[in-house]
Structure 1
Amino acid sequence: MGYYNLHLVFEGQGYVELDGERIPLTEGEGFLYPKGAEQQYGANPAQPWDVRWIHFSTAMPLPMLSSADESGVWLFSITDRRRLASLMDEMYTISSHFETRYEPRLSALLYELLAELAHNAVSLQDDAIPRHKQELIREAADLIRNRCSESWTLESMAALSGYSMYYFLRLFQTIMGRTPNRYLTECRMAVAKGLLVATRLPINQVAERVGFTQSSYFIRVFHSQEGMPPKAYRELYGSLA
């Protein structure tokens, strides 16, 4: 299969086979197979699972994708599944009567789904970093994302966790798969794209809304991230909103 295969268990039980061992999965747990992997999984006949699943391809540099690529499958758990269910249900609805003009929305939903997993899912395989530290870093990441329009420094971000700047940087990069500053930029670009598509705010006001003091720098960063300037992005996708 030339796609990643993501399954999330909402009810019941199932299993994944890894290195000859059958690993049980239950409510709130899931798995991610990489492209081209041999895949062995199924439902427990006694308590068949209710799962949501998607096949996808992406170039996003996420630790969970790397873990799947390296180990053959990534196993995880997640506490709050309501948001994931909502995102996947909307993806199913769009895909059931797919048209090319829906591609930007489908891509945005996939990005949000993977972001939710990256922020909130806990690996069932990696015990190198204690769970409480993983949760602390993800809580800090959520705060940064929700307040991405504010002025942030590495020092102020590290203060959210109580760790030193150096230790926070190492932990954040290991758990989130990118540096805090790169993560902040991605959050700002996600908000900016929404404003460009859904509003007619001038570019300089969009820049201010997402935390940039200079619109010229915002335009340069946006072009670097998205491959086109903000104006072109709005012209391409704004009419589809």
Structure 2
Amino acid sequence: MLLNPTITKPQTIGFHYVDRFNVSIRLEGIGWEKAESASYRWNGLSRGQEGAAIFQYTLSGRGELRIGEKIHSLPKHHAFMCKVPGDHEYYLPEGETHWEYFFVTIHGEDALRHWSALEGKIGPVFELPPKSAPLGILSELYADIVQAPLADQYDIAASLYRFILEMHRYADASSLVRTGDIPEPLLHAISLIRQRYREDLSLDELAKASGLTKYHFCRLFQKKLGIKPMQYINKVRIERAVWLLRYTDLKIAQVGEACGFTHASYFIKTFRGIIGSTPGDYRSLPKHPDFDQLKVEI
């Protein structure tokens, strides 16, 4: 987390949009706070908000989140995402002296849709490294707002979308293959692929991450997953490309580059070989509201 007390001080900033429909995603509030009393308690069914998406990250101390009848602990470096209204409540638990946290509250149908998709990937509560990209984006946004109270609403919206995209990247990297008995060495390689799929990964790098020789790594990978390591890299890249084509306005070449394809022609060829259509043709198809992401089986 890049919050710097010499540059920014703990405070909360709220926003009011005169034209609520001018931008598709709106920041209602952002803040760095510390709860030190049991009176700190927020209930998702009685807080008087509609259509809000909340992200909250523990900086120190510990909080708790109740969802239905289940209680989740929120120690340092853990975050939660929830939507309002909802059957949840977060608070400073009995016996804890404080809960220091950073939060954002966002409005807009886009935010709610992405919150649902992210919860499906990593759940409502998860650990997030303090130097992760999503937190870096939010801390920069917080510093910009504190230091420049007249921050442009479109710049704010762009930062929120960057945060959401990085959360999807983090969630995808955390969602390792769970089907079958995947040996630990392969899980290390899969994790590397999902974190660095945009790079030109070699078999030598993947084998090193697994701790196996290149021969045994390739043999075990294909035996357990049914495809070759380089095919798996393309699978991850194309799954990401499908998401970007559906939910962003990036040009085809930019989508390919964002997914690790240095040449647009090779991206188009690979995409067509796996999906059965070119990226442009796929983008022009009617939307598929029945899924938030497409998993490719090769």
* TM-score range for the pair, normalised by the shorter chain length: 0.5 to 0.7
Q: Using a 3 Å threshold, how does the CA distance of structure 1 residues 99 and 134 change in structure 2: closer, same or farther?
A: farther
CA contact (8 A) 2:261 2:267 kept: no
Which is richer in helix?
1
CA distance in 2, matches of 1:115, 1:164: 25
Q: 1:235: which partner in 2?
A: none
Find the partner of 1:17 among 43, 46, 66.
66
CA deviations on 1:24-83 (whole Å, 9 max, x unpaired) are 221122222245312201124633222222234054597533268xxxx622223x2212
Quick check: 1:163 aligned with 2:221? yes
- Which amino acid is the alignment partner of residue 23 of structure 1? H
- Which amino acid is the alignment partner of residue 113 of structure 1? M
Deviation (angstroms), 1:193: 4.9
Deviation (angstroms), 1:139: 2.4
- Which amino acid is the alignment partner of residue 120 of structure 2? S
Quick check: 1:180 aligned with 2:236? yes
CA deviations on 1:62-119 (whole Å, 9 max, x unpaired) are 7533268xxxx622223x2212431211232455544244133442233123422442
Quick check: 1:82 aligned with 2:135? no
TM-score (norm 2): 0.46
CA distance in 1, matches of 2:172, 2:119: 10
Q: Using a 3 Å threshold, how does the CA distance of structure 1 residues 110 and 23 change in structure 2: closer, same or farther?
A: closer
Corresponding pairs, count:
191
- Which amino acid is the alignment partner of residue 105 of structure 2? H
Find the partner of 2:87 among 30, 38, 42.
38
CA distance in 2, matches of 1:48, 1:134: 37
Tell me which structure has the larger Cα radius of gyration.
2
Quick check: 1:221 aligned with 2:274? no
- Which amino acid is the alignment partner of residue 167 of structure 2? L
CA deviations on 1:106-139 (whole Å, 9 max, x unpaired) are 42233123422442489xxx9x999967665332
Q: Using a 3 Å threshold, how does the CA distance of structure 1 residues 212 and 46 change in structure 2: closer, same or farther?
A: same
- Which amino acid is the alignment partner of residue 53 of structure 2? Y
CA contact (8 A) 1:8 1:29 kept: yes
CA contact (8 A) 1:207 1:214 kept: no
Q: What's the C-alpha RMSD, in Å, of the aligned pairs?
A: 5.0
CA contact (8 A) 1:7 1:51 kept: yes
Comparing 43-52 and 12-21, the one that deviates more? 43-52
Find the partner of 1:119 among 173, 176, 182.
173
Quick check: 1:51 aligned with 2:51? no
1:182-221 matches, cutoff 5 A: 182-185=238-241, 193=250, 210-213=262-265, 221=279
CA distance in 2, matches of 1:74, 1:20: 14
Q: Using a 3 Å threshold, how does the CA distance of structure 1 residues 134 and 186 change in structure 2: closer, same or farther?
A: farther
**What is the DSSP-based 3-state SS (H/G/I as helix, E as strand, rest coil) of the residue aligned with 1:6?**
strand
Q: 2:193: which partner in 1?
A: 140
CA distance in 2, matches of 1:40, 1:7: 13
CA distance in 1, matches of 2:259, 2:121: 35
Deviation (angstroms), 1:13: 0.6
- Which amino acid is the alignment partner of residue 239 of structure 2? Y
TM-score (norm 1): 0.54
Q: Using a 3 Å threshold, how does the CA distance of structure 1 residues 42 and 117 change in structure 2: closer, same or farther?
A: farther
Find the partner of 2:78 among 21, 29, 54.
29
Q: Using a 3 Å threshold, how does the CA distance of structure 1 residues 210 and 26 change in structure 2: closer, same or farther?
A: same
Unaligned stretches of 5+ residues in structure 2? 1-49, 202-216, 228-234, 272-277, 286-298
CA distance in 2, matches of 1:208, 1:131: 26
CA distance in 2, matches of 1:31, 1:114: 14
Deviation (angstroms), 1:5: 1.9
